Amino acid sequence: MKTYFKNIWLGVYTVLLGMKITLVHLFAKNVTVQYPNKHPLEKASGDKMPPNARNRLFVDMELCNGCTNCARACPVNCITVETFKAVPGDAPPLKTGEKRGLWVPSFTIDFAKCCFCSLCTEPCPTEAIKMTTEFEYSVYDRQELKYQFAKMKPELIKEKKELYASYQAEKAKKDAEAKKAAEAKKAEEGKVEEGK
Ligand code: SF4
Ligand code: SF4
């Protein structure tokens, strides 16, 4: 009999305890926001995205030398960098003043694949690739998540490729002439030696 009433009391007690917790939460201050109607980082709230937050990447092409370190570090292969050689002194220097030996006609990042690990930012020698505070970039077509950072126009790419090809041809011609002249000189010297 004692156990019977004890169980009834336990039942009533736990219900009252649960109701007390519910009431406390009913009148407690909200800790969630009605995103996107209210932005969690509204300036009025004084909140800011932490500086080390991992969001959308940005590539400063005036700092990128086309080394492809970032693409090789990416675990999901979402960075594609295309390069071709530049005629010495033809490509504009980097923002830092360093000489550039390569043109970068295409630099894409597919954010549909990116896992925001930030591994690509570590090996960049010029800090050209960085995380930004931008995290709201939803789109309806996933193809739009493929960002092209390079700004070279197709006509310029064609022109620079042709320029490098003619530079190479000219260089090969000069090398062949120099080699031929050296061989002729050597043969001449051999004849003089024989005549002595
Ligand atoms: S953050 Fe990670 S997954 Fe995204 S591009 Fe960089 S290395 Fe690749
Ligand atoms: S590691 Fe930096 S410099 Fe090299 S290709 Fe990537 S962004 Fe450009």
**All domains of the chain in start order, with CATH:** 57-155 (3.30.70.3270)
For residues 111 and 121, give the distance between their C-alpha atoms in angstroms, rounded to a whole number: 15
Nearest residue to 60 (alpha-carbon basis) of 136, 143, 8, 127: 127
Which residue spans within the chain are E strands per DSSP? 57-59, 79-85, 102-110, 129-131, 146-148
Residue 104's pLDDT is 97
Q: What does the block give as tokens for 104?
A: 């970068």
Q: Tens-digit pLDDT profile for the chain (196 aa)?
A: 889 999 999 999 999 999 999 999 999 988 887 887 877 666 545 567 777 889 999 999 999 999 999 999 999 999 999 999 999 999 999 999 999 999 999 999 999 999 999 999 999 999 999 999 888 899 999 999 999 999 999 999 999 999 999 999 999 999 999 999 999 888 888 777 776 6
In angstroms and rounded to an integer, the radius of gyration of the C-alpha atoms of the chain is 34
User: Is the distance from the beta carbon of residue 65 to the nearest atom of ligand 2 less than 6 Å?
Assistant: yes
pTM of this structure: 0.77
Which residue is closest in CA terms to ligand 2's atom 8? 64
Q: How far is the CA of 150 from the centre of ligand 2 (A)?
A: 12
Residue 155's pLDDT is 97
H or E element in which residue 4 lies:
helix 2-27
User: Is the distance from the beta carbon of residue 67 to the nearest atom of ligand 2 less than 6 Å?
Assistant: yes
Residue 195's pLDDT is 66
User: Is the distance from the beta carbon of residue 109 to the nearest atom of ligand 2 less than 6 Å?
Assistant: no
Query: What's the one-letter identity of residue 160?
Result: K
User: Is the distance from the beta carbon of residue 81 to the nearest atom of ligand 2 less than 6 Å?
Assistant: yes
